[in-house]
Amino acid sequence: MPDYRRHRIAGGTYFFTVNLLERRRSLLTNHVDALRFAVARVKAARPFHIDAWVVLPDHMHAVWTLPPHDVDYSARWKDIKSAFAKAMPKRESLSQVRRARSERGIWQRRFWEHTIRDDADYAAHVDYVHFNPVKHGLVERAVDWPYSSFHRWVANGHIAADWVGPADASDRVESGED
């Protein structure tokens, strides 16, 4: 069995990529209210701060900061995925392995995580989150994507509504995706 080692810092800030199993589906945006409910439920039970988040049709990116003395982002993701899956009708096809483990065929089993190292790393990852719908050709401007914390950042005066992306709009961060 593989040994997945995750870097954990109590109260740390982390960047995540979480993917659907079937990357051609639009399950996340089609059922964004169920996802929001799942996140709110988990956040109420196990608090964390959402620094940035974007939900795309088949995957999402997030930057979270955990409370002091807390390192368990994995349990939060497990609970979010589980709560979302429970809200979905059972229509997906299941492999024999998933069926034997009583798993749903909605999510990839794991997620990609990166520990934020400093302010520049934080800024690059928040930019990546907010620019991602543009990168994937879903919209021409970040402000046009409705499922993003970009709008909160604009409302709080941290970024201009006409922001066109990072100075270097290429992939500035490793995302664990594509």
Buried b (16+ CB within 10 A) or exposed e, 93-109: eeeeebeeeeebbbbee
* SS3 state at 134: helix
* Residue 172: predicted pLDDT: 47
pLDDT beyond 50 at 16: yes
Q: Domain residues for 43?
A: 13-155
What average pLDDT does range 140-160 have in this prediction? 96
* Residue 148: predicted pLDDT: 98
Q: Is 176 inside a domain boundary?
A: no
Report pTM. Answer: 0.88
The CATH number given to whatever domain includes residue 75 is 3.30.70.1290
Write the pLDDT tens digit of every residue in 23-37. 888 999 999 999 999
Q: Is 168 inside a domain boundary?
A: no
Which of 16 and 177 is assigned the larger pLDDT? 16
Write the pLDDT tens digit of every residue in 94-110. 778 777 777 778 899 88
14 catalytic? Reply is no
Q: Is 174 inside a domain boundary?
A: no
Catalytic residue among 14, 73, 128, 147: 147
Q: Is 3 inside a domain boundary?
A: no
**What is the number of structural domains in the chain?**
1
* SS3 state at 50: strand
Q: Is 66 inside a domain boundary?
A: yes
pLDDT beyond 90 at 66: yes
